[in-house]
Structure 1
Amino acid sequence: MKVNEGKIDRLVRFVLGAILLALYLADVVTGTWGTVALVVSIVLLATAATGFCGLYALLGINTCPVKQQKQQS
């Protein structure tokens, strides 16, 4: 798996995942929506931790900046 998320993308995913998880754990979001929030938060936190998003790979999206290679003389 190749990293396809940039730093800002990963930070946004982490923050949103943490917020959704906190809302679920605090019983603010319950029932079916609570389950959806829990699953989405787990996916967001996992993709933020790994730097890889399967959906991005399928769609050909890459927010990770390309590393510049040094030119050899």
Structure 2
Amino acid sequence: MKKNVGGIDKILRILVGIALIAWALMGGPVWAWIGILPLFTGALGWCPLYPLLGLNTCPLNKK
């Protein structure tokens, strides 16, 4: 699995994930648990959707 999430993309994913999970924990809507996905992909540095879309924000693995 090559990393395809880098820099600002990674930071934003982690922050959005934490915010959504916190909202869910504070009584927000059930769909706010979707924050697990951006948190997970940001922490791993890999997004399974990016290869399908031909995207890569990681400067170390640019083609």
Measured against the shorter chain, the TM-score band is: 0.7 to 0.9
Question: Structure 1 length as normaliser, TM-score?
Answer: 0.77
The ranges of structure 1 where at least 4 consecutive aligned residues each deviate by more than 3 angstroms after the TM superposition are none
Deviation readout 1:29-70 (Å, 9 max, x if unpaired) = 1xxxx22210x2110111011000011111110001136xxx
1:44 to 38, 59, 62: 38
Instruction: State the partner residue of 1:25.
Output: 25
Percent identical among aligned pairs is: 44
- Considering only CA atoms, is the larger Rg found in Structure 1 or Structure 2? 1
Query: How many pairs are equivalent?
Result: 61
Amino acid at match of 1:45: L
The offset of 1:3, in angstroms, is 0.2
Instruction: State the partner residue of 1:16.
Output: 16
Corresponding position: 1:60 with 2:51? no
Secondary structure of the residue that 1:66 maps to in structure 2?
A: helix
Corresponding position: 1:5 with 2:5? yes
The offset of 1:7, in angstroms, is 1.4
Secondary structure of the residue that 1:4 maps to in structure 2?
A: coil
Structure 2: how far apart are the matches of 1:42 and 1:65? 24
Amino acid at match of 1:24: A
**Aligned-pair Cα RMSD in Å:** 1.2
Higher normalized helix content (fraction of residues)? 2
